[in-house]
């Protein structure tokens, strides 16, 4: 993309303030839109839309890669502070968001087959999140699962595949390498493939506050915890 073609430029001095970068960037966006209106030709604005969508996807993947490599090498920086706490303080991303990006990178670089990784890297972050979550919860994916993820047309397709793997619909039943169970007292136990039990923590299931009850229900549902 060249400046002479009035294309948007996303590069700049890394020390430049974000306010100034945003001002320059939005000025270019406005100029592109106005040019389309003046020339009665929407092609450059459509091109801009495609570029921005691609840039958003690329920036998400790049952020996952940066966080992943920083965490892997955190011990080399001689910083006496937890990695996630440090990133939260310096970057401002919520801890859950940081962990989500780390799971995506872990899935891509430690689990996804090399032959499908380039295709997965082109998926939107929203499509990578459920795949990474499934892997992090111990589900063992077969080569055909990875291939189907790579061929998914959109995030809805990805979620359908994940749901089939998790619930055993169709021919995609998978046994997780890690199972979570909650007993009648609210204690959560993890079981590995050998059925060895490990205590994880407890939820106050006797609490009657409606917000706590809803929060517990959400935790159980989103974490795949089975009730005794």
What is the pLDDT, as a whole number, of residue 118? 93
HSE of 61, CA atoms in CB hemisphere, 13 A: 18
161 and 185 co-located in one domain: no
Cross-strand pairs, 227: 182
Are 217 and 160 found together in one domain?
A: no
Range of the domain at 143: 83-167
- Examine the domain organization and report whether 91 and 157 are in the same domain: yes
Does 8 reside within a domain?
yes
Which residue from 175, 93, 173 is spatially nearest to 139, judged by alpha carbons? 175
Q: Whole-number mean pLDDT of the chain? A: 81
Do 90 and 161 reside in the same domain of the chain? Answer: yes
- Per the listing, tokens 């039943």 go with 173
Model confidence pLDDT, tens digit, residues 58-75: 888 899 999 999 999 999
**Is the pLDDT at 174 greater than 90, yes or no?**
no
Q: Is residue 190 classed as helix, strand or coil in its secondary structure?
A: strand
Number of structural domains, the chain?
Answer: 3
Per-residue pLDDT for 10 more than 70? no
Residues 149 and 218 reside in one and the same domain: no
Q: Work out the average pLDDT over 141-167.
A: 89
- Do 101 and 48 reside in the same domain of the chain? no
Q: Does the residue 34 lie in any domain?
A: yes
- The percentage of residues in the chain with a pLDDT greater than 70, rounded to a whole number, is 82
Question: Which residues are registered as beta bridge partners of 198?
Answer: 190
Res 175: pLDDT: 54
In a domain, 173, yes or no: no
Is 67 among the domain residues? Answer: no
Confidence grade of residue 6 (pLDDT, cut at 50, 70, 90) = very low
41 and 116 inside one domain: no
Residue 165 CB partners (closer than 8 Å, separation 6+): 134, 139, 141, 145, 172, 173, 174
- Which of 25, 44, 59 finishes a domain? 59
Where does the pLDDT of residue 27 fall: very low under 50, low under 70, confident under 90, or very high at 90 and above?
A: confident
CA distance 79 to 16: 26
- pTM of the model as a whole: 0.63
- Do 92 and 149 fall into the same domain? yes
The verdict on residue 210 lying in a domain is: yes
CA distances from 176 to 190, 192, 216 (A): 11, 9, 22
**Is 133 domain-assigned?**
yes
157 and 183 in one domain?
Answer: no
Q: Would the pLDDT of 7 be above 60?
A: no
Q: Do residues 184 and 153 share a domain? A: no
CB 28 within 8 A of CB 3: no
Q: Are 188 and 158 in a shared domain?
A: no
pLDDT of 176 over the 60 cut: no
pLDDT classification of 121: cutoffs 50, 70, 90: very high
According to the model, what pLDDT value does residue 111 have? 93
Number of neighbouring beta carbons within 10 Å of residue 73: 10
* Torsion of Cα atoms, 12 then 18 then 20 then 25, to 10°: 60
Asked if residue 228 has pLDDT above 80, the reply is no
Instruction: Calculate mean pLDDT across residues 112-124.
Output: 93
Last residue of a domain, one of 120, 144, 167: 167
Measuring CA to CA, which residue among 58, 59, 31, 56 is closest to residue 45?
31
91 and 54 together in one domain: no
How does residue 11 score in pLDDT terms, banded at 50, 70 and 90?
very low
Question: Is 102 inside a domain boundary?
Answer: yes
Q: What is the DSSP letter of 225?
A: P
Highest mean pLDDT among 115-119, 178-182, 200-204, 218-222: 115-119
Q: Which of 7-11, 18-22, 29-33, 133-137 bottoms out in mean pLDDT, i.e. has the lowest?
A: 7-11
Residue 150 lies in a domain: yes
Q: Beta strands 226-227 and 179-182: pairing type? A: parallel
């Amino acid at each position: 993309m060249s400046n002479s073609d009035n294309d948007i430029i996303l590069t700049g001095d890394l020390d430049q303030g974000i306010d100034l970068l945003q001002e320059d960037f939005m000025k270019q966006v406005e100029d592109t839109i106005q040019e389309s209106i003046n020339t009665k030709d929407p092609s450059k604005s459509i091109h801009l839309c495609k570029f921005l969508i691609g840039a958003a996807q690329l920036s998400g993947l790049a952020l996952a890669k940066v966080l992943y490599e920083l965490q892997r090498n955190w011990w080399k920086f001689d910083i006496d502070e937890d990695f996630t706490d440090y990133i939260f303080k310096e970057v401002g991303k919520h801890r859950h968001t940081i962990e989500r990006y780390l799971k995506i990178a872990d899935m891509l670089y430690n689990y996804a087959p090399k032959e499908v990784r380039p295709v997965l890297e082109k998926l939107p972050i929203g499509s990578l999140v459920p795949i990474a979550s499934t892997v992090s919860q111990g589900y063992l994916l077969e080569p055909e699962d990875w291939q189907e993820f790579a061929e998914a047309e959109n995030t809805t397709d990805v979620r359908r595949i994940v749901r089939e793997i998790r619930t055993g619909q169709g021919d995609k039943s998978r046994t997780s390498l890690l199972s979570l169970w909650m007993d009648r007292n609210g204690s959560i136990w993890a079981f590995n493939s050998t059925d060895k039990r490990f205590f994880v923590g407890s939820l106050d299931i006797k609490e009657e506050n409606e917000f706590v009850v809803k929060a517990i229900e959400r935790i159980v549902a989103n974490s795949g915890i089975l009730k005794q």
